[in-house]
Structures are given as C-alpha cells and as structure tokens.
Structure 1
Amino acid sequence: MSTPRQRYREQVRREIKQAALARIGEGEPLSLTAVARRLGMTGPALYKYFASRDELIAELVQDGLGELAAAVRAGALPEGGPRERLHALARAFHGWAVARPGLFLLVSSAPTLAGVEEVLGPFLPVFAQARSAPALDGLPAWAHVREGDPVAALTGAVLVWTRLQGVLSVELRGPFAGVGTALLAAEIDSLADTMGL
C-alpha cells in the first residue's frame, strides 16, 4: 500500500505530464521551465519529479505507446477476413493518433521505440496469413506467431507502421488535413494487395 506522500508524488507527476502534453498539443516547444510555470512551480521544484527533459519525454513516449497499443487492441475484430481485420486495426491506430496528435508526433519522433511491439502485436496474426512477403533479415522474438509465416507477419507489421506514419504525417503536419480517412483506406488496400491479403 502506498503512503500519502507517494500518492501525492504520483499525482504531481501526472499533472506534470498533462501540462507537458498540453504544451506539445499547442505546438509549443517542451521545456521543463515552461511546464513548471504552467503549474505554478519553479523549475528547480519540477526537477524533484523528473531529473531531466529527456526523462519526461521518455515517460510520455512510453505512456503514448501504451495508449496506442490499447487503442489498437480495442479496434481488433474477433472475426473476419485478413483485409477487413487489417483495416479495423489501421482505423484504430489512425483514430488514436488523430485524437492525440501532439502525443502521436512525440511518439513517432522518439529515437527509440521500446514498446512498439505492443502496438504492432495485433497486426502480426493478420499478416501471418499473407501469401507473399519480401524477406527481412533477423526476426525479433516478439514477431513470432502461433500460426502462419512469421517473416510475413514481421514484414507486414513494419510496412504497416511506416505507411501509417506516412498517412498521419501528411494529415497532421501537412496541407492535406481532412484527407486522412480516404488516404488511409487507399494505403491499407495497397498494402493488403502487396502482401497478398
């Protein structure tokens, strides 16, 4: 059981992360001093909760990947053909990113994506049913599937990650806001064709 002091510390850490996300969502650069000011704290006081800006960003990225993974899992269809299931997963990914653009942009620009396997995990069984796949070197442990081709599963997962990143980058950063849903459907159909789904 946690002590009142531990609960208070966790509450303040959550508030710091929320303030940082609000700042990112407003398109403002992330600095601990600006986040502290938003919360009515001094910069040095904030360092009691996060040792550095990098530590705060790393936690935000991990939180974001956890949220994204949960959204993708929630969007999975229990039945249906692989193409239909792929579209459902991609829509769930896209929907989360559009709802949380600042956090998505932070997650997608992170130098390391430990946790991405949780996001891509639901895609693996879909792509394991692919009829063809270009070969990738090396197969990480998380890419193994119970049934089907693990190489196709990993290849498809990597390709869906890059294609979703591309669609969202164009939609969230570029002059093509509002075309994401149609672009997403076309991109996922193209990927399904490439993978023989």
Structure 2
Amino acid sequence: MNPINTKFFNLNIDKQERIINAAMQEFVKAGFEKASTNEIVKEAQISKGSLFNYFRNKKDLYIFLIENAVNILEQIYDQIDLNERDLFERLNQVGFIKLNIQKKYPLVFDFLKSIRTEEAVEVKEEIDQLIGNWLDDGLKRLYQNLDWSKFREDVDPEKAVQILNWTMVGFAEQQISKLGTFKNVESIGGDIFNEWKSYAEILKRSFYRKGEE
C-alpha cells in the first residue's frame, strides 16, 4: 500500500466509501484518460485539495481502486470450503459466493469490467500485473485439495481443467455482455447461475467415471 493512502484510511468509513464510489463511477463512465477529478470531487462532496492529499495523482487513485477491488474479490476465495473435494461442487460453491458478492458490490464489478478494456498506456501494465496475479493465485486456490480420483482414467486432469477454465472464461464473457451493468445481477443472477450449472453438468459427465457423476 502506498504510504500516502494511510491518510485516506484515517477518514471515517462513510467518507471513504463516498470517495471510492464517486471515483469508480467516473472511471466506469469515462475511462482512465478522460475521467475528470473535478467530477469525482463534486460527486464525493470533497475539495480537490483533499483528494490529492489522499492520492498523489489520478493514476495513484486508479491503482488504489484496483487494489481495493481485488481485496473484495479475495472474499470469494476466503469463503471457499476446502473440505468440499468434488471439483464441480466446489465450482458451484464459488459461483454462489461470487453471485452474492456481486449483489453486494455491483459498482466494484462494473469497475472491474471497465478495466478489462482499458487501453491507457499509463495504467495498462499495472492492470495486467494486478489482475493477472490475482487470477493466477485464485485458480491455484480454487483447485486446491480436490479429489482427482473421480476423473476417468482416459481423461488427463490438467487438460480437463484447462477446458474447464476456457469454458468458465467464455461463459463469463457472454454473461457480462448480457448484463450491461452488475446492478442487474440482483434480478437475473440466479438465472445465470443455473445456466452455468447446466454447462458444468455436461463437463462433469464428460470427465468423471461412471457412478461419480
């Protein structure tokens, strides 16, 4: 964490959330380069001097927002029950946890969606590094302590997991484009979750030995 951000954390929680939400809204709407700090401070009801007392510049604020979003994403993996050793039950568990977190923090997920297409050179490297590290670590934790004995003998678990990853990424891309904004996840998130389970069942029947489906 940047030492200057400690000033931000000395603020009361309501003020912190007001600044974070105002900044995320502006970056989602305008992208990094066109985002206006004037609009952010206006929405957050603070002075511009105050904003730059907490963050050195717009990039510092943007990186802070990514780190804050990653911390929220961490809640998904922190809530995984590693005693559940069936791969597909684990995935269902993660999907349910993720859906509840998306309902609680829709703006965070809209912000994460926006950074996936952010091309500003000034922040592109940091986005790739922060999100890439989280994804790599998340996948390791997702597949931790699983019962691989359920797989058919003629199925390579590593290749099966790769197919599963491709399917999850493709499914997520499709559903995110349908959602538009994660504010809609409250009303249609359950349908998305059930649709994913139907794909997972097909893969489960393909990968698992008879009697294990």
Same-fold status (TM-score > 0.5)? yes
Under a length normalisation based on structure 1, what TM-score does the superposition of the two structures give?
Answer: 0.66
Deviation at 1:104, TM superposition (A): 0.6
Q: Distance in 2 between matches of 1:95 and 1:104?
A: 12
Deviation at 1:155, TM superposition (A): 4.4
- Alignment of 1:173 with 2:181, yes or no, is yes
Deviation at 1:128, TM superposition (A): 8.6
Match in the other structure for 1:46: 51
Larger relative contact order (CA 8 Å, sep ≥ 6): 2
Q: Distance in 2 between matches of 1:83 and 1:45?
A: 48
Count how many residue pairs are aligned between Structure 1 and Structure 2: 179
Superposed, 1:36-185 pairs within 5 Å as 36-76=41-81, 78-79=83-84, 81-111=86-116, 112=128, 113-114=131-132, 115-125=134-144, 129=148, 132=155, 149-171=157-179, 173=181, 178-185=187-194
Deviation at 1:13, TM superposition (A): 10
Q: Larger % of helix: which? A: 2
Equivalent residues of 2:21, 2:107 under 8 A apart = yes
Residues 183 and 8 of structure 1: is their aligned pair in 2 closer, same or farther, counting only changes over 3 Å? closer
Q: Distance in 2 between matches of 1:183 and 1:153?
A: 21
Residues 165 and 59 of structure 1: is their aligned pair in 2 closer, same or farther, counting only changes over 3 Å? farther
Q: Which amino acid aligns with 2:142?
A: F
Match in the other structure for 1:140: none
Match in the other structure for 1:196: 207
Residues 92 and 22 of structure 1: is their aligned pair in 2 closer, same or farther, counting only changes over 3 Å? farther
User: Aligned-residue CA RMSD in angstroms?
Assistant: 3.9
Match in the other structure for 2:10: 11
**Alignment gaps of 5+ in structure 1:** 134-148
Equivalent residues of 1:20, 1:35 under 8 A apart = no
Deviations 1:60-116, CA, capped at 9 Å, x for gaps: 122212211222330435225322221111111122122211101111332432322
Equivalent residues of 2:87, 2:143 under 8 A apart = no
Deviation at 1:56, TM superposition (A): 1.6
Equivalent residues of 1:108, 1:165 under 8 A apart = no
Equivalent residues of 1:16, 1:36 under 8 A apart = no
Q: Which amino acid aligns with 1:91?
A: F
Q: Distance in 1 between matches of 2:6 and 2:160?
A: 45
Q: Which amino acid aligns with 1:90?
A: G
Q: Which amino acid aligns with 2:59?
A: D
Deviation at 1:127, TM superposition (A): 8.4
SS at match of 1:62: helix
Equivalent residues of 1:71, 1:93 under 8 A apart = yes
**Alignment gaps of 5+ in structure 2:** 117-127, 209-213
Residues 191 and 6 of structure 1: is their aligned pair in 2 closer, same or farther, counting only changes over 3 Å? closer
